[in-house]
Each structure stands twice: as structure tokens, then as C-alpha cells.
Amino acid sequence: MDHFLYRNGVLHAEDVPVPEIATAVGTPFYVYSTATLTRHFRVFDEALSGMDHLICFAVKSNSNIAVLKTLAELGAGMDVVSGGEYLRAKAAGVPGDRIVFSGVGKTRDEMRLALTGGVRQFNVESEPEMHALSEVASELGVVVPITVRVNPDVDAKTHAKIATGKSENKFGIPISKARTVYAHAAALPGLEVIGIDVHIGSQLTDLEPFRQAYTKVAELTVQLRADGHDIRRLDLGGGLGIPYERSNVAPPLPLEYGQVIRETVGHLGCEIEIEPGRLVAGNAGLLVTSVIYNKQGEGRDFLIVDAAMNDLIRPAMYDAHHDIVPVIEAEAGADLHPVDIVGPVCETGDTFARQRQLTALGEGDLVAFRSAGAYGAVMASEYNTRPLIPEVLVNGDQFAVIRERPSFDEIINRDKIPEWL
């Protein structure tokens, strides 16, 4: 569910007409709904009710500070994978004891940043990282809580580029080596082993891979406790998918996901952490763009819009689907015809949809890409010297620009010409 609905034929973001935002900020832009973010967070919170838990929003999915603050005020923790994301979480007012530091390549500088600023735990990904963290913690005279990320060799049955739990993926340590690695961690200074971390991928639409992975984590918990480790926290990752194609069968609900957690690890008495990103933010955002031209090609028509692959790279990178709708609702029974929806970047990959059925649209008409609140703005670039586009947050009948579009002068003046030129 989201809060982007037609009223009197006009698409609204909560109580704000989308054309009103377009007039104020220009196109293209991202717009997020506070009500949708709130609802999705609370649905997860309710799914784990009665269990000791913390929901840590995956900052990599949407790192705008206003979005992070909205969720933090609901009680969310944050899962960060870089020093920059850590600083964003802190800037949003999130205390260190609600920030989990994940990521496969943490540097010593990032470790120092989090250890001096406060952190809930490090999810350690490898033995070399474990040694580095031990050294940095010892230098600073602190003891840092850690989990070790285990790779359970479970096929998440998702896109190959966002699967993280198979043996050939770069993430975590093989679960078969876990007891040896945990024994090593327990012997290192500056580290306190408190739990287990697992994350098998993103956009999962089947609960069975979760069940398989969490069952293995439960078995490992029993083994590690028998080895003398105080395993009291399980970080189960995120990855629950969203319905990008509304005509398809909907993915499982957070309540059903929560039931899998209860059935597999609920008996262990551990605090549970989960790290949703896409399901919280994905359907809480739209990308709004306007039509530049209609172009007739050989055997197909092209709808050229002012958003491009640098603004939303998911279709180019993952062949991802986004529902695309006119902001002014088509009349009932209006004819549909197939068009390729493309941007202005000089790449064939700058194609959002092929042969998508749409009603006739003309120059200046507004179009909305649904399910764009996660892995949209965060993955944007300035390719072709195209400015990063504005982000807007709506709350009821109010809206605010939460990231402005930079000017060309601001972009160009970042470059520096050396003296010899």
C-alpha cells in the first residue's frame, strides 16, 4: 500500500497534487510520502511484536537525512555500510547505540569514526577485517560488540546482482568455518562476540530461502553456545521484496516474514535485528518526469522523457520493472498503444520500458514511475553533466524540498584546472 492515489483525475502524493510539486521544483524529481514510510515501518514493528527486536533501516536504500529522521523518530535503528552513511545517520539524530555497521570492505578510518562516535555493533565480514577491527579498538582502548556474518549458501532466488547468500558471493564467511572463526574472534583483544549476522539477498518474493537460512543460523547458535560463546543477538538482514508489478502476485507480507522468524529462531531467546530497506522505502516514493518528445521509429514509437538512467539506473542495471502511469489519469476506455519509454542520455541502455501500454501523452505531460523510493536517488549520478534531481518529502498537505537540484555552475566549479593549463 502507498499514499499515491488519483483524486478527481489527478495523482496526489498524500494530500498534495503532484502537478503542484512539479510547478514548484521542475522535473524530474523524486517525491516521498511520510505516511507510507510510517506505515511500512510500523508493519514491520508489529510483525515482531512480543519479541525483543530492533528494526534497522538499510540506509543504502534511501539515505536522505529527512527520510532517516522520519524513521528514527518512529524508533528505527540504522544499518550503514560506509563512513558516509554513518555520518548521515548521526546527522539525522540517530544515536550510536542504534547504528549497526555492516559492509564487506570497512576501512580502519571508518572503524575509528564509528568507534569514537558510538556504534551498536560491527557485523564483521572476514577474518582480515576482524584483525583490523581488533587493532583499531585496542588502539582506542575500547571493546566493540561484534557479530560475524555467515554465508549460509542459500539460493535467495532473486536477481544475480543482488543475491548475497550463496557460496560464490563475496559476503561473509562460509558457515562451515564459523566455529573456527568465532573461536579466533573470542581470542582477539578489543572484540566482544555477541551474535550472528546473516543476509542472503534483496527483493526476495519467497519465504523459503529465509526459512532455510534462519534454520541454519539457529543450529549454529546452539553450536556456538556449546562452545562457550554468549550468542544473544541475531541480525537476520533484510531483503523482503515489494510488488514492482502490481498485476503480479504480491510478495509475502512482513507479518508472514515475522512468523518465519518466530518459527526458526524465536525459541533461542535472542534479540532480533532486521534490516529492511526496499520494503520500507520502495513504494514510499515516485520519480516524476515530463515528456519531451514523441518520436516515431521504424516499427515502434518512443516516448522521450526528461528523466534518464543517471536519475534511475535500476532498469538499465537490473532490467528492473517500474509501473509507469500518467499523472493526469486517463479517461475510462481511452485507447492504449505500446511505446518505448526512454531518456535523453546517449546510451541504448537509457531505456525505462519497452513496448509499455500507455494512453497518448504529449509534450509537457507528467509521468510517474512508481516504487522508486528505494535504490533510486541513492544510485543516481551526474552522467552527461546532468544535475542530481530534487528530492521532496510530503507530509499530509505539506511538502518540502529535502535535496535541491544543483546548478550547472556548482557542478562545473568542482573541477579544478591545474596551473600548467
* pLDDT attached to residue 108: 98
Tell me if 280 sits within 8 A of 71, measured CB to CB. yes
Using 50, 70 and 90 to split pLDDT, how confident is the model at 244? Answer: confident
Q: Is the per-residue pLDDT at 157 higher than 80?
A: no
Average pLDDT over residues 409-413: 97
Q: How confident is the model at residue 297 (pLDDT cuts 50, 70, 90)?
A: confident
Buried (b) or exposed (e) across 207-228, using 16+ Cβ within 10 A? bebbebbbbbbbebbeebeeee
Average pLDDT over residues 243-247: 73
Q: What is the pLDDT of residue 168?
A: 54
The three three-digit cell numbers of residue 358, written as one number: 500507455
pLDDT at 162: 44
- What is the architecture of the domain spanning 63-276? Alpha-Beta Barrel (3.20)
State how far the Cα of 312 lies from the Cα of 308, in Å rounded to an integer.
Answer: 7
Q: What is the mean pLDDT of residues 43-51?
A: 95
Would you place residue 239 in the very low, low, confident or very high pLDDT band (cuts 50, 70, 90)? confident
pLDDT for 241 equals 86
Identify the band that residue 252 occupies on the pLDDT scale cut at 50, 70 and 90. confident
pLDDT digits (tens, 9 = 90+) for 173-191: 999 999 999 999 999 999 9
Helix (H), strand (E) counts: the chain: 12, 21
At the topology level, CATH places domain 4-31+282-412 in: Lyase, Ornithine Decarboxylase; Chain A, domain 1 (2.40.37)
| pLDDT tens track for 113-133 | 999 999 999 999 999 999 999
Find the mean pLDDT for residues 202-220. 91
Q: What is the rounded average pLDDT for all residues in the chain?
A: 93
Task: Output the pTM of the full model.
Answer: 0.94
Name, in order, each residue with C-beta under 8 angstroms of 132's C-beta and a sequence gap of 6 or more: 106, 108, 111
Asked if residues 142 and 190 have their Cβ atoms less than 8 Å apart, the reply is yes
The answer to whether 56 is a known catalytic residue is no
Cα 193 from Cα 148, distance rounded (Å): 8
Report the distance separating Cα 67 and Cα 58, nearest Å. Answer: 12
- CA–CA separation, 233 and 271 (whole Å): 5
Active-site residue, selected from the candidate residues 226, 346, 412, 417: 346
Q: Domain locations in the chain?
A: 4-31+282-412, 63-276
Please choose, from the candidates 195, 175, 184, 180, the residue with its C-alpha nearest in 3D space to the C-alpha of residue 131: 184
Q: What is the pLDDT of residue 159?
A: 46
Least confident of 58-72, 211-225, 238-252: 238-252
Whole-number Cα distances in Å, 87 to 22, 94, 120, 151: 31, 10, 14, 28
d(CA 167, CA 145): 26
Above 80 in pLDDT, residue 382?
yes
- The helix/strand/coil state of 30 is strand
Closest CA to 99 of 121, 125, 75, 123: 121
pLDDT digits (tens, 9 = 90+) for 268-283: 999 999 999 999 999 9
Domain 4-31+282-412 shares a fold with domain 63-276: no
Average pLDDT over residues 299-322: 95
